[in-house]
Structure 1
Amino acid sequence: MTKKLLIRELAQLIFLVLLSVPCLLRADDLMTIFEIALQNDPILKQAEAKQSAAGESRNQGLAQFFPTIKAAGSSGREWRHNKKTRLNSFYPSTQEYWNSNFSVNLTQPLFHWDHWVQLSQSDNQIAQAEAAYQAELQNLMVRVTEAYFNVLAAQDNLQFTVSEKEAIANQLDQAKQRFDVGIIPITDVYEAQAAYDQTVANELEAANNLDNQKEALLEIIGTNTVQVNSLGQTLPLKKPEPAELSKWDENAEATNLSIIAAFNEMEVSRKAIDIQRSGHLPKLDLVGAYGATDNNSSFGLRGDTQSIGVQLNVPLFEGGAVNSRTRQASFEYEAAKENLMAVKRSVKRQVNNAYRSILTNISRIEALKATVTSAASALEASEAGFEVGIRTMVDILSEQRNVYRAKRDLSRARYDYLLNTIKLKQTVSNLTQTDLEQVNSLLVANLTNK
């Protein structure tokens, strides 16, 4: 074989190898997924649109303090039928002429109490929408992290299930061989076969769950495929700082964005009462008008008029509508107050849950690490006992299940610890992209297709 031909064959071989390597070699880390979600998540975009819409409320409030100018005009052909008298006998009985009118009216509000209240109300509407948007942005961080870790947990579960199936398959092969030579009874073979069949079913369920978790992540980011990096073995375990739960409760009540949004929503409702009550107050306007008329009839009406002055409107009676609208606004204000209280209680529960869950996760991770080690030792002891006839196949299969159950629980506990750390910061609205970057630094690239 010539050197040139050898190089060509080598190039083709390398090309085939590269084709065989799946595109999963370039998995997406948490920050990459979050950046995609920022662009595509419809819930965040909805909050952003509402924020922009709320910003227009102040422009509308300011517009009420400026003058309103309206112009109107008309022109048309008219026919006039004159009744004959001694005074107008010289006029024709029928006149046909053009009649044109033009007018400009100006109204400048001088005192409208509801305009001032609405301007103040717009500030609360903007603050409420801004807080809601920022809350949704932090919620997106949590949703992405949770969906990302759910995919990782599902991948781990599938991998553990496959490994357990392979281990039981080996036990099944050994059981059949031992039965063939009369060392063990047929019941051990049946036990191993039943355990193997169960792991096959578990593998199908685990694969389906992985697909479902990926779909949940895709729902957020809006892309067709997603591959994720795995969590590394090194995971620093840190308790919440500050250590006092009461400090977290105080900070959450002062800074939580959902509470801020609910408070401003309540203020909007409170000021709506003043707006409705202003229906009893007088309104004062500066009004001006200019009009021009051109009438080509025999009377020859042509000229213009100007006027300027102040106009006072005093409401006297509207059938009780003002009082009814005021009561309605009062009820809506009471509802908004109760909603604020409900939000505060919900946030307090979230703080307590996340805080205690972190402490539980830390203890649970340490305990499960020991469980994995002890379960592996128990499995080795059972296998050794099986060799000398003091343990049965049922014992080995039971210990194998314990090993993989402990591994699954440890895997889930690690993800839960990180997720609860993120959630605790969300409760005090102190969650930033820097926190996601810290979590992202704990991930390692996958080199296999799980």
Structure 2
Amino acid sequence: MILKATEMKKKSIVKKIAVSFLFIVFVVSSGNVAAQQSVWSLEDCINYAIENNIQIKQSELDIEANEADLLQSKLTLLPSLNGNTNFSWSWGRTLDQTTYVYFNQETNQGNMNLDASLTLFNGLQNLNSIKRDQIDFMASQYAADKMRDDISLMLTRAYLQILFNKELLAVAQEQVDITQEQIDRTEKMVEAGTLARGSLLEIQAQGSREELSVINYENLLDLAYLDLLQILDLDFDDDMEIEIPELTMEITNQLMQVKQVYETALTTQPVVKRAELQVESSHKSVAIAQGGRSPVFGVGGGWRTNYSNQFRNFDPESGSFTDVISFGDQFKDNQSQYLGFNLSIPIFNGYQVSTMINKAKINAANSEYNFELTKNTLRKEIEQAYNEAKAAYKSYVATESSLNSFEESFRYTEQKFNVGLSNSVDYNIAKSQLTSAESELLRAKYDYIFKTRILDFYMGKRPGYLIFTWASR
């Protein structure tokens, strides 16, 4: 009975351990699955970057800092109020405040005061500071928008590069399969004596070269994924996959004219709006510096009281001073208030104000040049994107036409090779030309896609729009 009970107890313990182990494995596996996202769309990538990208977070912190500056500049319009108190002990020869006779004694005394001041006029410097900080706050928001757009465009390019490399890999793998079929067919023809063994060797060599091409395209695809992950600030993950959209786009030569795109971009692009606001901010800085030449007029007031152990009560009957007046009585009796106006007129300060005005004007002129430079850069980028889109369209049309010819040529050469009327050299050449044409067509297609999306972006469509809207065109 004892042995039986012991065995049952052991089985119970083993069962509990097994259940606990399975539970732990389930929890860990569930955590790993939840922590990973296997398939990413372009929208997922952009949303993740906007929420987690460090540069975007830094730009958002800049917004908060400028907002704090704006609040502070508004609060400068309020009066200032400050309190001060002190208490001290001293020993030695001291003038008695009641008898006006010097004694060697310990003295305790304290003071308390509240002071308030308000600037009524200082050459509109405070008001211009508020306007400048409002402009800087808006400029920081446009800077953050620019950062989001830049990251989104980088992700779009990386995403398209992955799609491009996937299609190249698919083409290369298809060529390997075709060549393998041809190798099998050629082996049978060599065994039947209808083809020389040299033809088989050449076809096999072509197959090896194409397998190497598959490996190279796989490497390029891994690098494209790595580029996307690095933009997302994620560790490299072999299991990451992107969503493959249906690219049913229409490739056309009907593009928006450069002038129309540029005029629209001037009113929609954050980089232009930020540069324009920086010009306005610099002119407000000039007005602030010029306010330094103005007189400053203000009002001030305050309250004070004090205490000292030298203040004693006077006894009229004895004609002498007795005990020290209490702190509460001195606090009440020694109170005083004041109110006054102050006027400060700058006359000569080593040309500091003039220097500040000149520097502010220089900065304003520099910001205007930066604004013009920003517009020129924008125009050049639009012109380049427009011409590259046109070039990609022409390349696509030409390559598509030549691809049809290469497909017919390869089909004809393959038929001749299968019946022994063509050698393996001609077959390999025709096949290589077809593969090259297919690759060039893919390159032109994706180049056209990205460049037209860039033009759409300059037309005011945010990068979120670039999430393959052409699939429904």
Q: Secondary structure at the match of 1:230?
A: coil
137, 152, 157: which one aligns with 1:126: 137
The Cα shift of 1:269 comes to 2.1
Is 1:294 equivalent to 2:325 in the alignment? no
What is the TM-score with the length of structure 1 in the denominator?
Answer: 0.81
The Cα shift of 1:382 comes to 1.9
The percentage of aligned residue pairs carrying the same residue is: 18
Change (3 A) 1:167 1:57: same
The Cα shift of 1:182 comes to 8.3
Is 1:333 equivalent to 2:346 in the alignment? no
Is 1:67 equivalent to 2:79 in the alignment? yes
33, 41, 45: which one aligns with 1:29: 41
- 1:235 corresponds to which residue? 249
Structure with larger RCO (C-alpha < 8 A, sep 6+)? 1
What is the TM-score with the length of structure 2 in the denominator?
Answer: 0.77
- 2:445 corresponds to which residue? 414
218, 224, 227: which one aligns with 1:213: 224
Count of matched residue positions in the alignment of Structure 1 and Structure 2: 415
Alignment of 1:299-378 (within 5 A): 302=330, 303-378=334-409
383, 395, 398: which one aligns with 2:426: 395
Contact 1:95-1:297 at 8 Å conserved across structures: no
Is 1:280 equivalent to 2:293 in the alignment? yes
Is 1:49 equivalent to 2:61 in the alignment? yes
- 2:105 corresponds to which residue? 95
Alignment partners' CA distance in 2, 1:51 and 1:161: 49
- Shifted more, 118-127 versus 157-166: the winner is 157-166
Q: What is the aligned-residue RMSD (CA, Å)?
A: 3.2
Alignment of 1:118-197 (within 5 A): 118-171=129-182, 181=193, 183-184=195-196, 186=198, 191-192=202-203, 194-197=205-208
Change (3 A) 1:390 1:339: farther
- 2:16 corresponds to which residue? none
The Cα shift of 1:360 comes to 3.6
Is 1:264 equivalent to 2:268 in the alignment? no
Gaps of 5+ in 1: 1-21, 443-450
Contact 1:240-1:355 at 8 Å conserved across structures: no
Superposed CA deviations along residues 36-84 of structure 1, whole A, max 9, x for unmatched, are 2332222322222222322223212211111111111111222241489
Superposed CA deviations along residues 107-156 of structure 1, whole A, max 9, x for unmatched, are 11111222122111112112211222223333333222212111111222
- 2:109 counterpart letter in structure 1: N
Contact 2:249-2:472 at 8 Å conserved across structures: no
Alignment partners' CA distance in 2, 1:102 and 1:244: 75
Contact 1:138-1:426 at 8 Å conserved across structures: no
Change (3 A) 1:190 1:284: farther
Alignment partners' CA distance in 2, 1:384 and 1:238: 35
Contact 2:246-2:471 at 8 Å conserved across structures: no
- 1:140 counterpart letter in structure 2: I
Q: Secondary structure at the match of 1:420?
A: helix
Change (3 A) 1:440 1:28: farther
Highest CA radius of gyration, 1 or 2? 2
Q: Secondary structure at the match of 1:269?
A: helix
Gaps of 5+ in 2: 1-32, 313-323
Change (3 A) 1:68 1:240: farther
